Chains A and B, each alone.
Chain A
Amino acid sequence: MAVSLRHVVTASVRSQGSDSDAAARQRLDELFKEHAAYVARLAYRMMGRDVDIDDVVQDVFVLLLRHLGRIRQPDAVRAWLATTTVRLTRRRLRVKSLRLLLGLSDDVGLADVRDGGSSPDERLAFRAVHAALEGVGVNARIAWTLRYLEEERIEDVARLCGCSKRTAKRWIARAQRAVKEALGHD
């Protein structure tokens, strides 16, 4: 049976693609199992709202799958994920600030139906902290979250934020003042 050139070429390209597809899917499953919860929690802590994390998690894993070949050590995956999550979250928080500045609503209604396994007290505390952070800049908010909620060391906060330790300390201090003031512990 004669097979057209188009079919030969298409079949060849596709058979190569499908082998790598299967491997990529398996790798994606493994990475999701291992890291999705970590990325989601990190994004949640920085964004402050559950409904905002879906896009961040998806974007982070799409980027991870595209850059996986460049991450040489398996141990480096988590660090890469943390840095990328911080970067993408920062971008989203900036867009959100801009939208609010322009008077565009960011309300999602009954968003708190997604409360995970948290108790009402925990949710209340989390919201109070994030309400306090609304007034500070995005960088300060992220740095403070990494330091006080994620309990990272100052040097790790600086690395994740892509700044010096001194700058990280300054951002954290600024946010800490706002939190203390808002929560009445000044």
Chain B
Amino acid sequence: MTEQRGQGDDGARDLERTLEAARRAAPALTPGRTQTWRWAVSSRLDGRRRSRMPALAACAAAAVLAGALVNVGWRALGIGADIDVTASASRSQARHASAADGQIVLPDGSRIVPDGPTTVLAKTIESDADILFELEAGGAHFEVARRPSRTFRVHAGPVTVQVIGTRFQVRRQDDHSAVSVSEGRVLVSWWGGSRELGAGEAGTFPPQPQPQPKPDAAPAPTTRRRAPDPGPDVLFAHADRARKAGKPDVAVAHLRTLVERFPADPHAPVAAFTIGRLLLEALGQPRQAAASFERARVLAHGAPVAEDALAREVEAWAAAGEPALAHRRAELYRQLYPNGARRGAVMRVGGLDKSAP
């Protein structure tokens, strides 16, 4: 009896010990992973807000238009000044906007002046470290206050213009964008290249190939204006939705578009990392996954996600049956992140942990 009770006590103690150990188990919470979550949440919220924008704009436009039509109708009937008050209020609002020429003035004194009525410009990111404008159509003149601690960028179709302190002009031209600099310097980048422009310089980017003369050239077809291409955060949100809907291949396609078209965007490293994860975990393509993780690491430029990307690259090469490559990457991890959060797993998977079975 006493022996049975003793065995029972031992069993309870064993169970408690197991539970204590299980309680200490924790998920991998690296800064890179948290950053990835934050970007994903931010993109999903942006995507949702953005989808409401056209509806909001249309409602507001319809309301103003309805007011104007009612006013015209009342005037035609020769009725009353009361309605005219509303109409003049509408006009004064419009005058106020046009008096400022749709100008945007940022708290630091930077000034953006749209070229004209066709300009569609949206501020998509504004933080202490980063400001991003999306030029969807038309052109605008930018006077950017010098703040070296902040990155000021303008996405204009396939081109990203990055500045520190300068005056420049950007104009969308279908698949290209014209950039001219009045003061300072800017870095214009696109998929496949980049170029610095100094004061007085101008160019159309991506550079257009030299046209080949054709003796019997057919008449050019009439061009149709394309809808504005989605920005990186919209692509990220599309990819996230596809991933959640169980369509990893569609998600990968969106993310690849993002990485190819916006390699300088802060979303790009996270997008490349997510491509790697989907290829590795959902699509069973570890070689391509390894390449994607490597791309993420290069794009991250030492940001926290680079550590995660290198760790997952080791895992992908191991899964692809390339122990030598996994080993080499694991050594690189050990060298770059001697106290990294994933060191144990990377050493084991990369074959550097001699005690592993």
Contact = CB atoms under 8 A, between A and B. Distances in A.
B227 interface: no
B122 A2 contact: no
B74 to A, nearest CB: 20
B23 interface: yes
Nearest to B62: A9
Contacts of B45: 24, 28, 62, 65-66
A30 to B, nearest CB: 11
A61 interface: yes
Contact of A183 (B18, B312, B314): B18
B41 A114 contact: no
Given A10-B57, A116-B28, A109 B280 contact: yes
B236 to A, nearest CB: 12
Interface in A90-129: 108-119, 121-126, 128-129
B42 A28 contact: yes
B27 A58 contact: no
Interface in B36-90: 36-38, 40-42, 44-46, 49, 53, 56-57, 60-61, 64-65
A149 B29 contact: no
Contacts of B203: none
A41 interface: yes
Contacts of B319: 109-110
Contacts, number: 194
- The size class of the interface chain A forms with chain B is 35 or more
B304 interface: no
Given A13-B56, A61-B41, A112 B27 contact: no
B123 A129 contact: no
B27 A28 contact: no
Interface stretch (A48-56, A78-86, A160-168): A48-56
A73 interface: no
A8 B37 contact: no
Interface string B123-164: 101110000000000000000000000000000000000000
A29 B102 contact: no
Contacts of A50: 27-28
A173 interface: no
A24 B98 CA distance: 29
B97 A3 contact: yes
Interface in A35-53: 36-37, 40-41, 43-44, 50-51, 53
A5 B64 contact: yes
Nearest to B21: A125
A37 B29 contact: yes
Interface in B217-252: 240, 244
A118 B126 contact: no
B156 to A, nearest CB: 17
14 contacts: A8-B102, A9-B60, A13-B53, A13-B57, A22-B126, A36-B38, A110-B315, A115-B28, A115-B342, A124-B21, A126-B25, A129-B19, A148-B19, A183-B15
Given A1-B98, A2-B117, 5 more contacts: A8-B94, A15-B104, A21-B123, A25-B125, A114-B345
Interface of B: 11-12, 14-15, 18-19, 21-29, 33-34, 36-38, 40-42, 44-46, 49, 53, 56-57, 60-61, 64-65, 93-94, 97-98, 101-102, 104, 114, 116-123, 125-127, 240, 244, 280-281, 311-312, 314-315, 318-319, 341-342, 344-346, 349
For the complex of A and B, the 5 pairs showing the least CB-CB separation, nearest first, are: A4-B117, A125-B21, A126-B25, A185-B11, A116-B28
